[in-house]
Amino acid sequence: MPIRKTEKYEETQVYRVRHSASHVMAQAVMELFPGHAKFAIGPAIEDGFYYDFDLPRALTPDDLVKVEARMREIIRGNHPFIRKELSAAEAKKLFADQPYKIELVEGLERGAEDEDGNPLTAPPVISTYTSDAFTDLCRGPHVESTGKINPDAVKLLNVSGAYWRGDEKRPMLQRIYGTAWNTAQELEEYLWKVEEAKKRDHRKLGKDLDLFQINPEVGPGLVLWHPKGAMIRHLVEEFCKNEHLKNGYDFVYSPHVGRGQLWETSGHLGFYRENMYAPMEMDQEDYYVKPMNCPFHIHVYKAGIRSYRELPIRYAEWGSVYRFEKAGVLHGLMRVRGFTQDDAHIFCRPDQMPQEIDRTLSFCLHILRSFGFTEFHAYLATRPKEKAVGEPAQWDAAIEALRAALDRSGLEYAIDEGGGAFYGPKIDLKIQDALGREWQCSTIQFDFNESERFDLHYVDEDGKEKRPYMIHRALLGSIERFFGVMLEHYGGALPVWLSPVQAMLIPIADRHTDYARKVQEQLLAAGIRVKVDVRTERMNAKIRDAQMQKIPYMLVMGDKEAAAGAVAVRLRSGEDKGAMPVETFLEMVKQALESKE
Amino acid sequence: MPIRKTEKYEETQVYRVRHSASHVMAQAVMELFPGHAKFAIGPAIEDGFYYDFDLPRALTPDDLVKVEARMREIIRGNHPFIRKELSAAEAKKLFADQPYKIELVEGLERGAEDEDGNPLTAPPVISTYTSDAFTDLCRGPHVESTGKINPDAVKLLNVSGAYWRGDEKRPMLQRIYGTAWNTAQELEEYLWKVEEAKKRDHRKLGKDLDLFQINPEVGPGLVLWHPKGAMIRHLVEEFCKNEHLKNGYDFVYSPHVGRGQLWETSGHLGFYRENMYAPMEMDQEDYYVKPMNCPFHIHVYKAGIRSYRELPIRYAEWGSVYRFEKAGVLHGLMRVRGFTQDDAHIFCRPDQMPQEIDRTLSFCLHILRSFGFTEFHAYLATRPKEKAVGEPAQWDAAIEALRAALDRSGLEYAIDEGGGAFYGPKIDLKIQDALGREWQCSTIQFDFNESERFDLHYVDEDGKEKRPYMIHRALLGSIERFFGVMLEHYGGALPVWLSPVQAMLIPIADRHTDYARKVQEQLLAAGIRVKVDVRTERMNAKIRDAQMQKIPYMLVMGDKEAAAGAVAVRLRSGEDKGAMPVETFLEMVKQALESKE
């Protein structure tokens, strides 16, 4: 049973290294402004650390070089980190000239906050850590001594402004970001990934490749798909819809608005209202744009008396839903206010449930693999401790079915104990992209709440009315976000089958345009999406532009090619495949399409 | 130039016949209740006439038989219709015991209403028409004498309640509906069509064939597509989308909500607000669900600097829009509050405009013909008299382009003088269904308003910024309404390519089920949508049920067929095509699919 053990970041060695590096950095900065530097907080964060300072002047890149050099000296000194517990009074005396530390000590005294200003639950112990000439208010943990930090695996990254305690009414401090790793190679890989991630940022690619816009005039978080992006979306939809049909799903379509009553019954107005768009009042009644498709699919189910023989019923819809996320959390296609789910609801008998979960999970993996993802991280989220609807026996059976399906799938998975929604357990699937980043994607989710609230039933073999199981599932999740992830995964160079333009024909001179048109007709007839670059640019400029547009194939044609009925094929990677007959090129494309390269 | 002359209904002979028949009917009813009947109004309406009465008791079907018999006597009497003009005082005296007529005369006196209570513009002339023993307040016109009514082409249809003047606070009257035609054959055809239309009512078919629901709990006028209806919609969309790609359109996708600012700029909040859903106020701002897709497509256009070389640009979207129609006008799929347009916007240079109109019109006819419609009624709507935006020269050029395109298309068309929107002229195309009814469907519409309001331009060959022409067009119009029309046109028996289930396999006994499954696999592999009726019903019941479901092919299989690898094919029309090898059946289906039968 390949259950994956997930170690908490806070318990790892690299976390201690980073936290310790932030102390070392703080010492170096303090030494740069002797008697004039105030220091605030300096935690380890994902992939690194920072420290916030109140300094007499703005830091320069030169300063960072000096600080980094001094850090290496301190590291080489191999000074031990020494912990000391003390009273609030002692701490205040110790940090008498450090107002931010005083404020933190006062917070600890009130018992409300830890050294980083976060809310506390247990009674506070005030402690300091001293290494070399630097003492910080800190509860640790740290490495044993500065020498445990690898001096070749530490790097300062940049400086940015940050309000003290994130409060714009408090002083603006200077935050130095750094990163630290176990080995120089890890550092190098990390820095490469950061650079690569910038280049692959889907917002940048979306602009460079003219794929979509998110325009404040239209509305923050609302996406307009431009022709090339829309073509990709169309191809994704077309593929997925056909796969759904083959996999025994029925399509349904539902409106984007509905009566408030629907969301009263479903419970969304009770527990989800803050994420919903505001109501539209008409004819003395509230209407809402839908945040979810469920109530509509449920009404399709309820349109008839369902027999045990009809089940399982699987309703699928590419349903656009609207959720009013806070402006501050909106982020490109990853976090939006309107998105389309490849949504489906499965209604089945209890005895069909294990098989349905198996089927859904393997269908899910098939779909994700079709888009070129191969690494998945599965999470099984179980019954929350506090409140949960549904019988414990139902929960147990459902969790068992999810677990068994995961076991049979061969996927490694982690248990997210108590992480289920109050209305049912679920499997979450994250996909790993080419840079090793995880993205939440698919969900297979039981719902004991709505089947109850909408009073769903079917007539069983014994003639009695029984409650069906209801399973929500979305495989790509949000098509907007999935598209963003795909763009970053491929750095914009999508597989041939998803490329809006698959080949650019490049006549070398004007006299080759007729031949290019002829080849275009031939390729179009074979179903290839192809354009001709008829601009009066030089060949190399045309090739470069097509490469920038991430077009998979560039077909160059001059006198020789025209005479031979051939094309000179270049790939967007820069690889030159040489001249070949058009038929050979078609065969090459066919293979790429079949293997979804 | 095949311009169609459209005669006004009010100027036709059959209109006079019907109006005259309503007088004859009134006389017969008055004679049935001598001294006790009050009569109100009795106009000719589409396909017939009615008269409203205030009577001492409810009318029975027997009464209608008597009235109809008496009408024929009056008709045979060939009494002339004699017009007389008179003063209001004389009229009041004449109708002293008829309170409804008195009220009508008073309306005429005030100069505000005609004899039927409709608002008047010209000063009133009060007139009566007398035929036989019956005199009515009436401005005519009528036939010369009752003998001009064909006694074999008149029929009374039914009685229903109607408030005097449609006001629920006034008395409830009894309205007798009748119909009258020039010939007995016309009457017969009409009655057949009425019966047929009832059977073909898309609301009835939608329920019988389990295609969709419109559920007050979800919201009036909001459509939920059930699996079989959704499959038809999917097939329609898939076909149309592919045709759009072949025809040089680019897809775009846009959200269903947007900032109020969009509709301020477009002018919709000014002139269209009453049809829009109410605003959603969030972050101190109004958002709206979209009543139209234009502002979004315009923003895609505006995302780049457009060169004259890029034009024409054609953006297509299956865009779901929401318009809050009054509850009283909602009608099945024909008039809804949310529908999906096969919408597109074309941006082109003035010199490209005639070609674009040609192209759009012929594409439109291609699409409509693909769905089996062959009769079209085109209307060219020109510049409205009152207000209109855009230069007269632009209007003239656009109207000329539309007219020329209609001429080249060979379609007969009528001029709808002044019938264009204030923002541009248009071609409307109505399709005629199997019962001869016209349905508004496609629109090709110029827009001089939004290109101005959103300040659209392109850079012309001379380097100057110019305003592009902008053309809206929807071919099916509303997919919901088109689906309703299609259902009624075909009486639910859709062409094979659009049938959600194309063949029902009917094993005669349980022992034939294995063979049926084998045939099913074979047909599924060939892409045919096929089900097996495994119920333990008798063969004839299974055939009948499949016929009721309008499934094109029923494949019956018993011992003989199983032994021969054959199927016995029946059509939904009842026609028995006999036994044939499965391959022969596949060939038959293939031909039906190709010809879109």
A177: its two tokens: 């970001």
Which of 479-508 (A) contact B at CB < 8 A?
none
Do B227 and A303 lie within an 8 Å CB cutoff? Answer: no
For B336, the 3-state DSSP assignment is: coil
| Rounded Cα distance, A107 and A125, in Å | 12
Strands (E), B283-368: 285-289, 313-322, 338-348
Interface probe for A, chosen from B265, B280, B520, B529 (most Cβ of A below 10 Å), is: B280
| Rounded Cα distance, B344 and B348, in Å | 13
Inform me whether the C-beta atom of residue A532 falls under 8 Å from chain B C-beta atoms: no
Catalytic pick among A27, A98, A174, A341: A341
| Rounded Cα distance, A385 and A416, in Å | 12
Residue in A224, A251, A280 nearest the CB of B234: A251
Residues of B serving a catalytic function are: 294, 323, 341, 343, 345, 426, 472
B98: its two tokens: 């008829």
Q: Which residue of B has its CA nearest to A260?
A: B218
Give the other-Cβ count within 10 Å of A60's Cβ: 10
**What is the ipTM for the molecules in this complex?**
0.88
Q: Which residue of B has its CA nearest to A232?
A: B251
Inform me whether the C-beta atom of residue A225 falls under 8 Å from chain B C-beta atoms: yes
Q: At what angle do helices B184-200 and B479-490 cross, to 10 degrees?
A: 120
Percentage of chain B exceeding pLDDT 90:
85
Inform me whether the C-beta atom of residue A224 falls under 8 Å from chain B C-beta atoms: yes
Q: Is A345 a catalytic residue?
A: yes
Instruction: Say if residue B1's pLDDT is above 50.
Output: no
Give the pLDDT confidence score for residue B112 in this predicted structure.
60
What is the 8-class DSSP label of residue B12? Answer: S
Inform me whether the C-beta atom of residue B222 falls under 8 Å from chain A C-beta atoms: yes
| Rounded Cα distance, A249 and A406, in Å | 22
Quick one: A93 exposed, middle or buried, by C-beta within 10 A (0-12, 13-18, 19+)? exposed
Give the other-Cβ count within 10 Å of A417's Cβ: 12
Do B256 and A338 lie within an 8 Å CB cutoff? Answer: yes
Q: Which residue of B has its CA nearest to A315?
A: B227
Inform me whether the C-beta atom of residue A95 falls under 8 Å from chain B C-beta atoms: no
Q: Give me the helices (H) in B201-273, please.
A: 202-208, 227-246, 260-266, 268-271
Q: Which residue of B has its CA nearest to A336?
A: B255
DSSP letters for A391-445 = -HHHHHHHHHHHHHHHHHHT--EEEETT-SBTTB-EEEEEEE-TTS-EEEEEEEE
pTM of this prediction? 0.88
Print burial letters for A207-224: b (CB count within 10 Å at least 16), e (below 16).
Answer: eebbbbbbbeebbebbbb
Give me the residues of chain A with pLDDT under 70, please.
Answer: 1-6, 112-123
Beta-bridge mates of residue B541: none
B250 neighbourhood in chain A, CB within 8 Å: 227, 230-231
Whether B316 contacts B249, CB under 8 Å = yes
Cα angle B551, B557, B563; round to 5? 150
Whether A277 contacts B282, CB under 8 Å = yes
pLDDT, tens digit (0-9, with 9 covering 90-100), for B491-507:
999 999 999 999 999 99
Inform me whether the C-beta atom of residue A257 falls under 8 Å from chain B C-beta atoms: yes
Q: Give the DSSP H or E segment for A54.
A: strand A48-54
Q: Domains in chain A, ordered, with CATH?
A: 9-194 (3.30.980.10), 233-254+290-490 (3.30.930.10), 496-595 (3.40.50.800)
What B459-464 contacts at long range (C-beta under 8 Å, 24+ apart), as own/partner pairs, is B459/B305, B459/B306, B459/B307, B459/B308, B460/B308, B460/B349, B461/B308
User: Comparing C-alpha atoms, which of B27, B71, B25, B22 is closest to residue B42?
Assistant: B22
Inform me whether the C-beta atom of residue A328 falls under 8 Å from chain B C-beta atoms: no
Do A226 and B252 lie within an 8 Å CB cutoff? Answer: yes
Residue in A251, A259, A287 nearest the CB of B217: A259
Mean pLDDT, residues B339-351: 96
Residue B542 distance to chain A (closest CA, Å): 17
Interface probe for B, chosen from A247, A256, A532 (most Cβ of B below 10 Å), is: A256
pLDDT, tens digit (0-9, with 9 covering 90-100), for B128-164:
999 999 999 999 999 999 999 999 999 999 999 999 9
Do A278 and B282 lie within an 8 Å CB cutoff? Answer: yes
Residue A468 distance to chain B (closest CA, Å): 19
Whether B560 contacts B548, CB under 8 Å = no
Residue B303 distance to chain A (closest CA, Å): 8
Percentage helix, strand, coil for chain B under 3-state DSSP, each rounded to 5: 40, 25, 35
Q: Which residue of A has its CA nearest to B229?
A: A252
B163: its two tokens: 């408030």
Instruction: Let me know how many helices (H) and strands (E) chain B has, helices first.
Output: 18, 28
A231 neighbourhood in chain B, CB within 8 Å: 250-251
Inform me whether the C-beta atom of residue B376 falls under 8 Å from chain A C-beta atoms: no
| pLDDT class of B178 with cuts at 50, 70, 90 | very high
Q: Is A79 a catalytic residue?
A: no
| Rounded Cα distance, A370 and A239, in Å | 9
B544 Rama class: left (phi>0) / alpha (psi -120 to 50) / beta:
alpha
Q: Which amino acid is at A456?
A: L
CB–CB contacts below 8 A, A to B:
162
Average pLDDT over all residues of chain B: 93
User: Comparing C-alpha atoms, which of A336, A364, A56 is closest to residue A206?
Assistant: A336
Do B227 and A219 lie within an 8 Å CB cutoff? Answer: no
User: Comparing C-alpha atoms, which of A526, A494, A503, A475 is closest to residue A596?
Assistant: A494
For A516, the 3-state DSSP assignment is: helix
Do B215 and A281 lie within an 8 Å CB cutoff? Answer: no
Which of 564-593 (A) contact B at CB < 8 A?
none
Q: Which residue of B has its CA nearest to A326?
A: B283
Do A253 and B261 lie within an 8 Å CB cutoff? Answer: no
A217 neighbourhood in chain B, CB within 8 Å: 259, 261-262, 299
Sign of CA dihedral B8, B14, B20, B25: negative
Do B303 and A213 lie within an 8 Å CB cutoff? Answer: yes
Whether A103 contacts A91, CB under 8 Å = no
Query: CB neighbours of B144 closer than 8 A, spacing ≥ 6?
Result: B80, B81
Residue B210 distance to chain A (closest CA, Å): 9
Inform me whether the C-beta atom of residue A531 falls under 8 Å from chain B C-beta atoms: no
Which of 278-307 (B) contact A at CB < 8 A?
278-283, 287, 289, 295-296, 299-300, 303-304
Do B255 and A217 lie within an 8 Å CB cutoff? Answer: no
User: Comparing C-alpha atoms, which of B220, B215, B484, B203 is closest to residue B327?
Assistant: B220
Query: CB neighbours of B133 closer than 8 A, spacing ≥ 6?
Result: B27, B31
Centroid of chain to Cα A338: 16
Q: Which residue of B has its CA nearest to A340?
A: B255
| Rounded Cα distance, B591 and B504, in Å | 18
| Rounded Cα distance, B478 and B494, in Å | 18
Q: Give the DSSP H or E segment for B379.
A: strand B376-381
Quick one: B295 exposed, middle or buried, by C-beta within 10 A (0-12, 13-18, 19+)? buried
B421: its two tokens: 């929107």
| Rounded Cα distance, B590 and B597, in Å | 10
Catalytic pick among A98, A138, A165, A294: A294
B310 neighbourhood in chain A, CB within 8 Å: none
| Rounded Cα distance, A67 and A72, in Å | 9
Inform me whether the C-beta atom of residue B260 falls under 8 Å from chain A C-beta atoms: no
Print burial letters for B201-239: b (CB count within 10 Å at least 16), e (below 16).
Answer: bbbebbeebbbbbbbeebbbbbbbbbbbbbbbbbbbbeb
A35 Rama class: left (phi>0) / alpha (psi -120 to 50) / beta:
left
| Rounded Cα distance, B475 and B363, in Å | 9
- Residue B397 to residues B360, B382, B394, B471: CA-CA distances in angstroms? 17, 11, 5, 13
What A542-547 contacts at long range (C-beta under 8 Å, 24+ apart), as own/partner pairs, is A542/A504, A542/A506, A543/A506, A543/A570, A546/A504, A546/A506, A546/A572, A547/A572, A547/A574
